[in-house]
């Protein structure tokens, strides 16, 4: 179904299976490919991959570029991945396995920063869980045609690498909207075309139960977004951007960088940036996201 090389004939379609270590960036990769027009499915049981591939084949070209995230979260189902890949080969579906990894120190730091639990860390220390997962994924890594170590890649650099690998001329010609959340106390994003100050919105920093989380967490986002003031602001902002974007495109501009700023860049700006991205994507715009200051505390 798909060309196994990133630079192959796009008319044949692409079928990418994203896997790798927990915390290495699979969700980021899926979002980047979604922005490039890929039909993305997260955590699909491997046993269903051959049937899903057949559905795509019979979609009359409507689903020609697909990215699936398959990883250790599937538990026992993940063991079926090698068998599913063999089945794809037997059926004549050409696919690419994209394996994401990072060094142990980087993965431990990311789990600490996000306060998320490693899927294998129920009874084990996170470092032990990482070592176990690395061992379990050895065979899958060996089958991968593309391996990316994200240890030293910023979110923006990682995104750029994926765009370089998987975008085609059709993608690169589309107008790009980059949304950057930031904290004013850390300075303005220098490449912003538009900057919006959201420091007037309800601040989770003053709610003790929310202070230690960031705007990607549902509780924090709900606190910010449920305010009538926030809803009114987002409605007006989306309408304003829908007015501006066609004029930017008509002038030959290929990218618009929107900065969304609050005091520290962890709560309000992040929640608003995430919601604005959802709104723009629902209108079929190509949107990339960066939370510049989300991990800064000083």
Domains of the chain: total: 2
Looking at the fold, whether 156 and 182 belong to one and the same domain comes out as: no
pLDDT at position 94 is 76
Q: Is residue 98 assigned to a domain?
A: yes
**Residues contacting residue 289 through CB under 8 Å, at least 6 positions apart:** 31, 178, 179, 273, 274, 277
Looking at the fold, whether 135 and 269 belong to one and the same domain comes out as: no
Residues 39, 66 contacting (CB under 8 angstroms): yes
Looking at the fold, whether 148 and 219 belong to one and the same domain comes out as: no
Residue that is last in its domain, among 123, 138, 171: 171
Q: Is residue 245 assigned to a domain?
A: yes
Q: Is residue 2 assigned to a domain?
A: no
Q: Which domain holds residue 199?
A: 174-291
Q: Is residue 104 assigned to a domain?
A: yes
| 195 strand-pairing partners | 259
Looking at the fold, whether 62 and 164 belong to one and the same domain comes out as: yes
Looking at the fold, whether 166 and 179 belong to one and the same domain comes out as: no
Looking at the fold, whether 19 and 165 belong to one and the same domain comes out as: yes
Reported as a single tens digit per residue, the pLDDT across 128-138 is 888 888 998 88
- Confidence bin at 174 (pLDDT 50/70/90): low
Looking at the fold, whether 143 and 269 belong to one and the same domain comes out as: no
Q: Is residue 1 assigned to a domain?
A: no
| Backbone dihedral region for residue 131 (phi beyond 0: left; psi -120 to 50: alpha; all else: beta) | alpha
This prediction has a pTM of: 0.58
Q: Is residue 5 assigned to a domain?
A: no
Residue that is last in its domain, among 149, 171, 193: 171
Residues 150, 25 contacting (CB under 8 angstroms): yes
Looking at the fold, whether 33 and 95 belong to one and the same domain comes out as: yes
Looking at the fold, whether 16 and 89 belong to one and the same domain comes out as: yes
Reported as a single tens digit per residue, the pLDDT across 263-293 is 999 999 999 999 999 999 998 888 888 999 9
**Residues contacting residue 128 through CB under 8 Å, at least 6 positions apart:** 121
Is pLDDT larger for residue 12 or for residue 102? 102
Determine the Cα–Cα distance for residues 200 and 269; give it in Å rounded to an integer: 11
Q: Is residue 58 assigned to a domain?
A: yes
Looking at the fold, whether 23 and 123 belong to one and the same domain comes out as: yes
Q: Is residue 296 assigned to a domain?
A: no
Looking at the fold, whether 166 and 183 belong to one and the same domain comes out as: no
Looking at the fold, whether 161 and 32 belong to one and the same domain comes out as: yes
Residue that is last in its domain, among 171, 206, 231: 171
| pLDDT > 70 in the chain, percent | 89
Alpha-carbon distances of 177 from 35, 215, 234, 259, rounded to whole Å = 10, 20, 16, 11
């Amino acid at each position: 179904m798909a060309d196994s090389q990133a630079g192959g004939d796009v008319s044949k379609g692409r079928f990418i299976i994203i896997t790798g270590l927990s915390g290495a960036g699979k969700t980021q990769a899926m979002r980047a490919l979604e922005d490039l027009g890929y039909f993305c499915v997260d955590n699909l049981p491997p046993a269903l991959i051959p049937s899903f591939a057949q559905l795509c084949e019979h979609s009359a070209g409507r689903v020609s570029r697909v990215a699936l995230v398959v990883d250790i979260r599937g538990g026992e189902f993940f063991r079926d991945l090698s068998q599913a890949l063999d089945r794809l080969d037997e059926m004549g579906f050409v696919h690419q396995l994209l394996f994401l990894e990072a060094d142990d120190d980087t993965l431990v730091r990311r789990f600490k920063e996000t306060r998320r639990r490693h899927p294998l860390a129920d009874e084990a220390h996170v470092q032990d869980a990482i070592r176990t997962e690395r061992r379990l994924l050895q065979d899958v890594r060996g089958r991968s045609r593309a391996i990316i170590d994200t240890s030293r890649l910023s979110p923006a650099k990682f995104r750029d690498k994926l765009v370089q690998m998987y975008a085609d001329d059709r993608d690169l010609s589309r107008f790009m909207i980059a949304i950057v959340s930031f904290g004013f106390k850390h300075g303005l994003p220098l490449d912003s075309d538009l900057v919006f100050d959201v420091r007037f919105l309800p601040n989770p920093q003053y709610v003790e139960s929310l202070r230690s989380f960031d705007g990607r967490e549902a509780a924090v986002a709900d606190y910010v977004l449920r305010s009538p003031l926030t809803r009114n602001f987002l409605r007006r902002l989306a309408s304003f951007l829908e007015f501006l974007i066609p004029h930017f495109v008509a002038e030959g501009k290929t990218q618009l960088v929107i900065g969304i700023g609050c005091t520290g860049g962890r709560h309000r700006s992040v929640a608003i940036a995430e919601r604005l991205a959802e709104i723009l994507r629902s209108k079929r715009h190509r949107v990339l996201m960066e939370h510049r200051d989300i991990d800064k505390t000083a």
